[in-house]
A and B are shown apart, each in its own frame.
Chain A
């Protein structure tokens, strides 16, 4: 069974540019999450999808970030325009259910560097 995949693995862009990160969850997982880790800090929750619906966007930093999950399969996270403080590693995770025992499986992350 394929795990959570993310593309690209690394992106370097200039301040003011746009970047789109992609996440493919484990097949059959209705729940998809985005997290972010800024250098050396904690991994922070950004948002949660159930299928194609956003259930919780409470962790999104500001309106420069837009997440979508068309058709309830893969998800994209767009940053527009990017700022220096957006640099970090963006993780995607998925889970089958929402019970505590439903493990969240993480992808390898996309390292975003804004210069």
Chain B
């Protein structure tokens, strides 16, 4: 019973365009959400997070949007660069250290 779902296993985007990665969750107790990026043979690295009291958080080219009523969050990357090609994991937590991850979306940015 997956509480965090990333329904798109892969996504291809042209360099310079916007990448939109989506994530849905089922547990209404989740109050903090994170995105991690993972390159092959490396561990996941933290990218950006958002608290449930906000609906948007921005860090450079990366913006995370949270829609609590829809239990949906998305990560926007603008503009996309070839170095952004990686697997992106959405994670959620209900105020604890225990992160619940999704299955990941593989992003490929085409030069």
Bound-complex Cα distance A43 to B89 (A): 9
Report the interface size for chain B: residues with CB under 8 A from the other chain. Answer: 26
Contact among B2, B9, B49, B96 with A42 in the assembled complex (CB-CB below 8 Å): B2
Residues of A close to B93: CB separation below 8 A = 100
Q: Assess whether B32 is interfacial by the CB under 8 Å rule.
A: yes
Q: Assess whether B7 is interfacial by the CB under 8 Å rule.
A: no
Contact assessment for A104 and B32 in the assembled complex, using a CB-CB cutoff below 8 Å? no
Bound-complex Cα distance A45 to B3 (A): 13
Given contacts A42-B4, A100-B51, A100-B93, contact A4 B100 (CB under 8 A): no
Bound-complex Cα distance A107 to B38 (A): 11
Q: Which of B13-21, B40-48, B57-65, B70-78 sits within the interface?
A: B40-48
Contact assessment for B103 and A91 in the assembled complex, using a CB-CB cutoff below 8 Å? no
Bound-complex Cα distance A93 to B34 (A): 15
Q: Assess whether B101 is interfacial by the CB under 8 Å rule.
A: yes
CB distance from B36 to the nearest CB of A (A): 8
Given contacts A41-B103, A42-B2, A42-B102, contact A91 B43 (CB under 8 A): yes
Contact assessment for A33 and B97 in the assembled complex, using a CB-CB cutoff below 8 Å? yes
Q: Assess whether A98 is interfacial by the CB under 8 Å rule.
A: yes
CB distance from B86 to the nearest CB of A (A): 13
CB distance from A1 to the nearest CB of B (A): 14
Given contacts A43-B89, A100-B32, contact A91 B44 (CB under 8 A): yes
Contact assessment for A48 and B32 in the assembled complex, using a CB-CB cutoff below 8 Å? no
Given contacts A42-B2, A43-B44, contact A104 B97 (CB under 8 A): yes
Residues of B close to A58: CB separation below 8 A = 98
B residues with a Cβ closer than 8 A to A are 2, 4, 9, 32, 36, 41-46, 49, 51, 89, 91, 93, 95-104
Instruction: Name 13 interchain pairs, CB-CB below 8 A, sorted by A.
Output: A31-B97, A33-B97, A35-B101, A42-B104, A43-B89, A43-B91, A56-B97, A93-B43, A100-B49, A100-B95, A104-B97, A104-B99, A105-B45
